[in-house]
């Protein structure tokens, strides 16, 4: 994702949209507030994940969080881990998976659905 600041966003909005935003803000900013609330909700849902190995809740901002995307391009899987230990445990388990033993404790998300 691009790291855009509000300044950049405002710069890139066309004049008509800006007028609409100003009008909205002048009347209490309800539209903008709803819009932002929805976006925050969406992103929190996106980040509300648990570790694929140990199941503990993952803090999205934690520097220890590891995300692994694997599988073929049309069948992507995403796994998130609370730390490197859980990631390497998972990788050792995927070796077993290749041998046909699907570990039951794994909780793997579809890459397109958080």
From CA 21, how far away is CA 40, in angstroms rounded?
A: 19
82 binds Zn ion (CB under 5 A): yes
Rounded-to-5 percentages of helix, strand, coil across the chain: 45, 10, 40
Among 49, 51, 79, 87, binds Zn ion (CB under 5 A): 51
Are 106 and 90 in contact by the 8 Å Cβ rule? The answer is yes
- 114 neighbors 46 (Cβ within 8 angstroms): yes
Q: Is 106 in the site for Zn ion (CB under 5 A)?
A: no
Least separation, in Å, of the C-beta of 59 and Zn ion?
12
Nearer residue to Zn ion within complex by CB, 21 or 108 = 108
Site size for Zn ion (CB under 5 A): 5
Among 53, 66, 78, 80, binds Zn ion (CB under 5 A): 53
Q: Does 54 bind Zn ion (CB under 5 A)?
A: yes
């Amino acid at each position: 994702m691009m790291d855009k600041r509000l300044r950049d966003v405002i710069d890139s909005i066309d004049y008509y949209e800006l007028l609409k935003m100003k009008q909205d803000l002048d009347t209490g900013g309800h539209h903008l507030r709803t819009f932002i609330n929805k976006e925050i909700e969406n992103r929190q849902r996106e980040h509300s994940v648990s570790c694929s190995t140990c199941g503990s809740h993952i803090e999205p901002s934690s520097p220890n969080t590891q995300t692994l995307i694997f599988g073929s391009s049309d069948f992507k899987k995403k796994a998130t881990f609370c730390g490197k230990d859980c990631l390497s445990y998972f990788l050792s388990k995927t070796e077993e998976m290749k041998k046909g033993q699907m570990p039951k404790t794994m909780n793997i998300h579809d890459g397109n659905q958080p």
